[in-house]
Structures are given as structure tokens and as C-alpha cells.
Structure 1
Amino acid sequence: MKIKNAKTKVGLSLLSAGMLLLVGCSEEGSSGSDGESGSSLDSIDVMTMSYEPDPTQNDSPVVKELEELTGKKINLLFIPSTTYGDRFNVTLASGNLPHVMLGDKSPSYISAVRDGAFWDLTDYLGDYENLQINDIVKENVSIDGRVYGIPRARPLGRNAAVIRKDWLENVGMEMPETIEDFHAILKAFTEDDPDGNGEDDTYGMAISEHEEPWNIMQMWFGAPNKWGFDDNGELIPDFTTDEYREALVWFNQIYDEGLINEDFAIMDPTQWTNPMINGEVGIIVDVADTSGRIQKGMVEKDPELDDVLDVFGAVSGDHGLVTKPTTGYHSVFSISTTSVKTEEELKEVLSFLNDLNSEEGQILAMNGIEGRHYELDNGVFTDLTLEDESLKQEFQSLNQMQMYLPEEKFHKPEETALQARSQQVMDENEAIVQPDPAYPLVSKIYAQRGQQLDNIIGDARIKYIIGELDDAGFDEAIDTWMSSGGGDYVKEINELYAEAQSSKE
């Protein structure tokens, strides 16, 4: 494999010389390989983020156990999450990269990939049992059709709806299976006194200014996930399809019928769950695990409400059962071509990451050391750090160097019934998720005009839902989108997609 040892073309005008002097691949400097062909890496530097003010130190007993497991000395450089993006760019500009570096699909990362700063891992990952990536996630993390980073996996099927199952019983209905069922339940929760207090004080579904519930629900009608294909195999935006418009009509209907909150377009997302916690609303379309947070809030207000919620993943329309996936990851670990110079060294680093992501590695990073940080009694997990918070510092930041591939393998406390149900729904959703075929593509036009283009359609959707825009008005918004750069964007996306498909052949 040919490697370009080129420094990335990050805009140095954005970086001060003083900042550049501060950066290094670790606080103690890079260690390990001397760069000669065939040399071995005795230690591996890993740069990742931390959410704790006092992250886990390199001399932690848990880090020492991980070193024993992987056979490598580990030099961890934790950067505060709030400043990680800036530090990432500074490190790239310095050219002094750690062996392993956390990044995301930012413009600077993509530029670094294209300048040869990171290894192309596409043809190597299949050889490592604990580095297997879901096909959808592999597409999502790819750049120009190739994989340059190992993703930190997150549930693909996380999107779901939380529902008051006690209200369902009160109105004599069952969990919805179709859009028609869903609509009928929204009406019953609004009109049939589901809480039995004799007051007209409930409604069907709460929505905030966060647009994702609309994106999730419109796919139930058969609308594509952001981009779909026309009859000629060309990529087209979701809002140009008949199925999207069908969903819009339905959204306007449930708004006119008072089945959702009138103030959804200005409702603060941080207040979104309050109506359900306060007993005002019966459904929220969000993510499955938000059910636990809602239940906690409800129980704090009324301890008897400890088993009133359920979760479902999607309801079916004319196009069957489908749901919108998440991206399936949060950042990726990439391997530097300047610090890891040979294919032999690359395989050493991949073996290190493979061991780190083994069951034993995940348990150490997430649970700590048995007998010190936790106990297992007949398979029942007990967290000892709850009694001594100081012990948690010995491993709490290590979750930021985990990838959870191909699945989570660490110990967890015993699940509640609602947590088990949420996990079941997320697992089942993976069979019905529909990926965005254009997500892996890097558009220059969108980088320049994306916010403007998104606002045109986002504003038009809201106006249509609340009745301020009809079909003709929405068509005009599409025309404005096309003439404001959207037409060029569609053309560019199709060209990028064709190139990406060719690179896989």
C-alpha cells in the first residue's frame, strides 16, 4: 500500500503559533516506533476526549491491566470534550500525530484523510474479530467509499416512541401496529379522558422544535431517509416524493385536530418530556431509552407510576414497516500514517484495538477490576464504586477509548422491565432501518449552503403543518430550494454517489 506522508492542509491562519507549540501526540511526547521498516511498537499513544474534569491517569491500575491484556504500554491523552475539536485541528496542523486519534467527519478530518494522514483500513478490518462493523455503519463512516476509522458504535435502531400503556388500557385500546391505529390512539388520548379525572386536560403527542420526530414519522409513510431514488436510479431529496407529501398532509391533520401541542415549533427541546412527566400527554416519538428518563421523572412525582410506560419502534403504512436509523456511531478512531509507518506496525495497532475491544477489554474499561470496582455473585453485578466514588476515577474516562464492536460485552446492572423492553425494540428496529444512501458523501455545496437549504424546507414544513402553506406554497418552497443551490447540490450528490460506487468495484 502506498502511503502519502503529507501533513494535512488545515488553515494555519486559524491557529496561533503559541497553540502549535503546545501540541504533541502526548503530554510526554510520542514513544514507541523509531520509524524503521519492521520495527515494533512498544507503546501506543491514544488521543481521545474526556467528559470528566479529572480523567483517568496512565498509572491507573485499570490501565495497567489493559496494558497486560494488550501487551502494549498505553499513553492516554485525554482532551476535554468542549475543546476537542480545536485540539484535533491543532494536532493535525502540527504534523505530530499520536498513533491512534479520535475524529469525526469534520472538514479538517476529511481533508486529512484525503491528504494521506490516516491509514485506509478497508481491507484490514475483516481480519479482526472485535473490529467488525455493521454494513450500514461502515457506509456511514466511509469517505470516498473507503474506511479510515473504526467507529465507536451506537445503537442503529434507537429511534422509537414512548407511550402510556395505562392510558391505552383506560381507553380500551392496544399497542398500535398501523398509522391508522396510531392516529386513533392520538385521538383517544386527546378526547376520551385517558387519565380518568373527568377533565379535558390531555392530548395525544408532544413535539418540540427538534425536527427529528417528523423525520421519523414521515418514513412510516414510505418517504426516504433524506435521499431516495427515482425511477431512473437517480438520487432525489425526500421532500420531492409523493410519500413525503402524504406524511405532510397527515401532520397537518393531527395538528388541526389538536392531537399535538400548538407550540411545537417553539417548544424548547429541554422541556420536551415535561408534558408526559406531568401527565398531560400520552406519546413522545424520540429514542427508546428516553423512556427510562421519563419514567424516573414520573416516579419522582408519583411513586405509583413505576410501570405505566411502554415502547414501540414504528407503525406500518402502505410501504410496510420501516424506521429511521441513527448514524450508528459517535466519532471514529483513526491510525496515523506518520506515527505508524509500516504495514507491520499497522497490524500491531489493529491487534491492540482488537484486544482492547474484547470482552475482557470492555469489562475493564467499563466496569473496572473485579473485587475492587465491582463484584459478581451468581451473575448479579454490584457496583462497588457507589460506596467509594474515588474508585470510579480509576476507569471512568476509559469508556471514551471503547468501540463496543461488534456489540457491548461489559457487565450491566440488572435491567428494569422498561429497560429490557427498550433494548428489545432497539434490537428489533435494526431489521427495519432504512439508511440514507447519501450520508457517506461529502458535499462541498452543502458545506457552503447547507444551513440555508435546510432552513428553506424546514420552515416550509412547519408552515404546512400549521396550515400557513398549501401544496402550491410548498411547491414554491421546493423551487426556491432548487434555485438557491439545491439543484446543483442534487447534481453533485449524484456525481459523488457514482464515484463512491465505482471505488468499491
Structure 2
Amino acid sequence: MKWLSNSNRKPVLILSSAVMAFGVLAGCGSKDSANPAPDAGDKGANTKTAPFSLSIMAKSFTNDNASPESKVWKKIEEVTNTQLKVEFTPDANYNDKLNITMASGSLPNVVFIPSNIIRIPTVSNAIKGGVFWEIGPYLKDYPNLKQYNPTTLNNTSYDGKIYGLPAVRPLGRYGTSYRSDWLANVGLSEPTTVDEFYNMLKAFTNNDPDKNGKNDTYGMVVTKYAGPWDIMQTWFGVPNKWGADKDGKLVPAHMTPQYMDALKFFKKLYDEKLINQDFAVYDSAKWNDPIINSKAGVAIDVVDRSYQIEENMKKVNQNGTIGLIGSTKGLPLPSTQGHAGVFLISKSGVKTESDLKKVLNFFDKINDKDIQIMLNYGLEGTHYKVEDGKLITILKPEDPQAPDINNKNLNQLSVGVPNVLDTAFKPGSPIRAKAAEVKAANEKNMVPNPAEPLTSAAYTQKGAQLDQIIADARVKFIVGKIDEAGFKAEVDKWKSTGGDDFIKEINEAYTVAQKK
């Protein structure tokens, strides 16, 4: 059986009002030529208009935020003809701040919601009540914003309409990182099927892949984070969270026959000790350690993990190398959500269509290549330098920065479309080049979750409980605490707890969406 290299991270994202967190950003402005975007203004005019005032509430990850004294800040204002007013809110306090702001009804120009908007009732209700602008029909007029992937836009839609600008993340983000030096030592080739993957794990466990003469290695490290199971199950034909049955009805992944095939494979890996036996409680913060320390040979997660592992491993083992597998043989790959939240434009802060276009123009302009690079890396010669086409960091994110060069947290303004950062500079190493290659290739072979933009009252009320029932049942099956009948009993429990209503409501929403 062919295997679909890594894909969806978590089956159904569990989000609620209490989980609302991230940067709330307001953006607007006219083009650096002084004209307000594809607005009803004089496109060919050279007369500079007055700066458009922006109120921005943004999430911060450091205490020493950028301020209007910053050269980066001033450059953003210059190219967008705006006057920025940014209120940074620390990550730890952001949930409360966002809830208070939403409840107050006094919103900044743009609110960043760190999840799918339908997962947060206060946000979806606000959209339904006309609090935010519908922006879908306008995106085609902006050279950067019109490049959004349709899957990403659909994933963040509400009632079939686009209200937000997604903060883009790769749709094909997942991959299998493995010790390529170990694979050579055991005489195997990169796997392209489930059986070949199993044989790799078996060899990494039993065939002394590090050549130290000891039986002290195992195949793959798994943590209490469930992502690897969600990814691997797709190799068996399990749908991306939801899939259509023969009658066109949506069925949750765990109720498909392929799901049990995947569970039996996972149990086999556990029973044969090809994975760490404490996976259910293993701290995900220590995920890389067993590979770096030559105890395990494989990790399945985001492709970025591949170079994180190799770069840290080189500090203790110069001979260690990491390989990376993405979607192979043209097989489909379940997509991620493709975003880390969305920017919503409030009607209370942005009262006219003309101003709406200025907001969209602001986001479009700051996603030009040179501005994206500046927002994320800072000023060339100050924050970084380029040698032989490679970016070399001068100031690290944790380094203190004088107010005039401080660019901290301004990257929270960028939606990252199109993605220019992966190709802006030469990769620092072959594995970084491979990571960028895999992400791009994966996007050609993805299966989206058809239920991503759909909502359910039952899930809103009981989603965390429903997800926990299946998550616990999967672990219990893998470690042998329940058998197939026991798993079926847990699914029945899931259904009676609210799962049946969840399925019914998702299919009702799906039917409506199909007609639009």
C-alpha cells in the first residue's frame, strides 16, 4: 500500500472564546504613490494624500516592542501612506484583551483572530450581525492578495463568503524527518510505501544503525502531541478529518473502515517497540532529543523540524544527517488549514468602502517582497547581512535594540501572501533547501478537509469532550488497553455524547454550502 507522507496535524481544531489569541492588527492606507489602492481615486495622480490613520491591536512576543521611532515602522508608514497606532498586547494577556475588546463593541480597524472564525461563537455571531466587512469580491483587485490559495480562503470562509485575510501558513507543511546516515548504514533506500516505512523503523530498532555495537536505538519518537498519528493514518486512505461516503454524506475520519487499518498498524509499531513506549506522556518539548542523541531515527511533523534537528545534531555529531520525505509518487496529501488565523476588518473602525480599500491596500503593499523581508528580518546591514546569497543574522530576536532600529513584533502585520521568504535567500544548508522543496511539492498533492469552513452547535458546546473521547480511545487501542470492540464502544459513546448531532449538523451545513 502506498503511503501518503505527512499531512494533517490535528483532526478538528478545538477552539473557543477562551482560546482566542494572537495579533489583532488594523491596516489601511493608500499606495506609496499616494493613491488609495484600486479605489475610486485618481490612479495616475501624483499628488500625495494625507496619511490614513490606523488603529492596531497586535499580539507581542517580546516586551520591547517596535515603536514609531523605528526606521522599519517609518518605512511601513511611508510606503503605505499611513499613520500607525499600534497597541501591543503580551501573548499571555491577549485572550482577555481580545474578549474585552470584542465585548466592548469599540473595535480597531482590523482584528486578528487566531483561528478559524467559525470556531469562536462571539466572532461568528459578530459576522452574522454585520460587524465586519465582507472582502471576498475585492481581493482580485490587489496584486498580492489575489494570490491567496483558494483552499486557504475556503477554510476561513463563513457561510460561503470571505470576511478575513488569512495569515498564511503552508498547506503542505508536513513531512517525515529521518536519520539519512542511519538509513545508509542499514542498507535501505528512502521509503515510498507503508511496508518500506515499517522496514525502516524495524532496521533502525534492530540493526544497530549507529554502529556502536549496542542494542540501544528505536525507530520513531512520538510524543503526547497526536499529530504523527493524524498524519500517518492518511497513508491508509483515512480522510482529512472528514470524508464523503458513497452517498455523498460527510463522515468523521474515525468512523471510516480505513481508520481501524491505521490503528492496527500503530499498535504493531508499539507492540514491536519500534516507537517509544512512553509516547502517551512524552513531552513534545523534548521531541528532537532522541534523534539528536542517536536514540531514535524518525520524527513525523512539520518539515521545519528536519533542519532544526540536523542543525542541533551537528553540534554533537558532525556525521549525523537528516533526510526528509514529503508526498511521494503523486499521492494526495491532506492539507493543513493553511493559516494561523485571520484579519477581520471592522465596520465601526472602517466606515466606508473607500476606507475599506485603503485597508486592503495596506495589507497588499506590506506583502511586497521587500517589505515582507523587512518585517521578518529587519534592515539589511543592521539586523542581517547577505553573503553569497545567504542571510546571516547580525541581531538575534532576543538582542536588545535601540528604538530607531527596533523591528520586534512588526512581523505580526504580514499575511505572507505570496510566500517570498522561502526563496528570498539561498538556503543555509541542503536540508533547508529540501524543506522548501517538500513544502512546495506537497501543495500539488493535497486533500482539503471539506468540513473546515462548516460549523456545528453541538461541536461548539461539546467539541473538546468529543475530541478527547476519540483521542483517548486511539491511545488505549495502540497500547492494548482496548480491542476493536472496545474502540467501537468508545465511538458509540462519542455518538451518544453529541457526535450524532455533530454529524447531522455538519451535513446540513455541507448541503447548504454545496448549493451556493
Q: TM-score range by the shorter chain?
A: 0.7 to 0.9
Q: Find out whether 1:427 has 2:440 as its counterpart.
A: yes
Match of 1:445 in 2: 458
Per-residue Cα deviation, 1:469-489 (whole angstroms, up to 9, x for no partner): 222222222211111111111
Aligned to 2:139: 125
Alignment partner of 1:218: what SS? helix
The amino acid of 2:268's aligned partner reads Q
- AA aligned opposite 1:225: N
* Distance in 2 of aligned mates of 1:367 and 1:208: 32
Q: Assess, with a 3 A threshold, how the Cα gap between structure 1 residues 40 and 245 changes in structure 2: closer, same or farther.
A: farther
After TM superposition, the structure 1 stretch with the greater mean CA deviation from structure 2, 80-89 or 488-497, is 80-89
- SS state of the match for residue 447, structure 2? coil
One-letter code aligned to 2:493: T
Structure 1 residues 208, 369: CA separation in 2 closer, same or farther (over 3 Å shift)? closer
- Structure 1 CA distance, aligned partners of 2:241 and 2:390? 43
1:300 deviates by: 2.6
Cα deviation, 1:25-55, whole Å, max 9, x if unaligned, reads 99xxxxxxxxxx9998722222221101111
Counterparts of 1:127-276 in structure 2, within 5 Å, are: 127-131=141-145, 132-276=147-291
Change (3 A) 1:260 1:375: closer
How do residues 56-455 of structure 1 correspond to structure 2 at under 5 angstroms? Answer: 56-104=66-114, 105=117, 106-131=120-145, 132-305=147-320, 308-314=321-327, 321-376=331-386, 379-385=389-395, 389-390=400-401, 394-409=406-421, 411-412=424-425, 414-455=427-468
Q: Which has the higher contact order (CA 8 A, sep 6+)?
A: 2
In 1, Cα distance between the equivalents of 2:394 and 2:222? Answer: 40
CA RMSD of aligned residues (A): 2.7
> Secondary structure of 1:176's partner?
coil
For residues 145-180 of structure 1, give each alpha carbon's deviation from its aligned partner in whole angstroms, at most 9, with x where no partner exists: 211110111111111111011111111101001111
Residue identity in the other structure for 2:58: T
Which one of 449, 456, 460 corresponds to residue 473 of structure 2? 460
SS at match of 1:124: helix
In structure 1, give the amino acid aligned to 2:479.
Answer: I
- For residues 296 and 381 of structure 2, the distance between their equivalents in structure 1, rounded to whole angstroms, comes to 45
Instruction: Provide closer, same or farther for how the CA distance between residues 336 and 100 of structure 1 changes in structure 2, counting only shifts above 3 A.
Output: same
Q: Post-superposition shift, 1:413?
A: 6.7
1:297, CA displacement in angstroms? Answer: 3.0
Residue 79 of structure 1: CA displacement? 1.4
Count of matched residue positions in the alignment of Structure 1 and Structure 2: 470
**Hey, what does 2:513 align to over in structure 1?**
500
Q: Residues 261-282 of structure 1, C-alpha deviation per residue, up to 9 Å, x if partnerless?
A: 1111121212222211211111
Q: Is contact 2:72-2:378 (8 Å) kept?
A: yes
Moved more, 253-262 or 163-172: 253-262
Percent pairwise identity? 41
Distance between the aligned counterparts of 2:184 and 2:469, measured in 1? 42
The change in CA–CA distance for 1:375 and 1:314 in structure 2 (over 3 A counts) is: closer
- In structure 2, the gaps of 5 or more residues are 1-15, 19-24, 28-39, 42-48
Structure 1: gaps of 5 or more residues? 1-9, 15-23, 27-36
1:471 is the counterpart of 2:484: yes
AA aligned to 2:128 is R
SS of structure 1 residue aligned to 2:251? strand
Counterpart CA distance in 1 for 2:65 and 2:491 is 49
Question: Structure 2: which amino acid aligns with 1:261?
Answer: N
Post-superposition offset of 1:250: 1.2
CA distance in 2, matches of 1:113, 1:177: 45
Q: Which moves more between the two structures, 87-96 or 154-163? A: 87-96
Would the aligned equivalents of 1:460 and 1:477 in 2 still touch at CA under 8 Å? yes
Query: SS state of the match for residue 129, structure 1?
Result: coil
1:415-440 deviation line (CA, Å, top 9, x unaligned): 21111111111111111222111111
- Taking a change above 3 Å as real, the CA distance of residues 143 and 498 of structure 1, as seen in their structure-2 partners, is same
Distance apart, 1:383 and its partner CA: 3.8
SS at match of 1:452: helix
Relative distance call for 1:386 and 1:223 in structure 2 (3 A) is closer
Match of 2:3 in 1: none
| Compared CA separation, residues 373 and 298, structure 1 to 2 (3 A) | closer
Paired residue secondary structure (2:373): helix
Letter paired with 2:179: R
d(CA) in 2 for partners of 1:476 and 1:41? Answer: 63
SS at match of 1:46: strand
Deviations, residues 113-170 of structure 1 (Å, cap 9, x unaligned): 2221110111111111111311111111112221111011111111111101111111
Q: Does the 8 Å CA contact 1:161/1:285 hold for their aligned counterparts?
A: yes
Task: Answer 1 or 2: which has greater helix percent.
Answer: 1
